[in-house]
Amino acid sequence: MTVHFHEEDLPEGVLAPGPVAVDTETMGLHTLRDRLCVVQISDGKGDEHLVRFNPGSDYAAPNLKAVLADPSRLKLYHFARFDLAAIQHYLGVVAAPVYCTKTASRLVRTYTDRHGLKELVRELLGGDISKAQQSSDWGGPELSEAQRDYAASDVRFLHQLREELDRRLVREGRTELAQACFDFLPHRAALDLAGWPEVDIFAHV
């Protein structure tokens, strides 16, 4: 297991074919204000790749964009809604098709309200990840080893989580419902970017 660090783009040909786990680190939670700093990506074969974007970046990143926009590659996220919006706003691509482990968890783990990545890894995989760097400064001139390991851990387990969550979706008869939710997520992100971040447009009032 190796964490690879890259500046401004992903090297060509470093990912195996098939689904990729994707995550982002930004300067904050307001997509239009808080710039995209890091994109993490993993093909599930044991390595993670971190692509760092510097202040003033033009976010050209042709290799990374090609992977993210590839309609034949499933993208695995935890809370896809946020990452999709950041990627669409800064990189200009819709990083779909989508699988969201947080959405899947909410559909099958109805016995709890704890759907964070740390809790999922603990319960479903028997592992542990640290969230100590979650609120650190991702826009600084250097990323510490702790930051790099934290960023990598956000994509390290998504392939395994998908396998376990898929089994539970089948068991509870909610696979089709989950897929419908996944298919809608790029549109939910687009609504966020268009000015409806906290509005349920399907609500009666």
Q: Which domains does the chain have, with CATH numbers?
A: 3-194 (3.30.420.10)
Residue 83, helix vs strand vs coil: helix
Rounded average pLDDT over 38-57: 97
CA distance 203 to 122: 35
Q: Give the list of residues 6+ apart from residue 158 with CB closer than 8 angstroms, or none.
A: 21, 42, 44, 76, 77, 78, 101
CA distance 86 to 88: 6
pLDDT value at residue 133: 72
130 pLDDT band, cuts 50/70/90, is confident
The predicted model scores a pTM of: 0.95
pLDDT value at residue 131: 73
Kindly report, residue by residue over 84-129, the tens digit of the pLDDT: 999 999 999 999 999 999 999 999 999 999 999 999 999 999 999 8
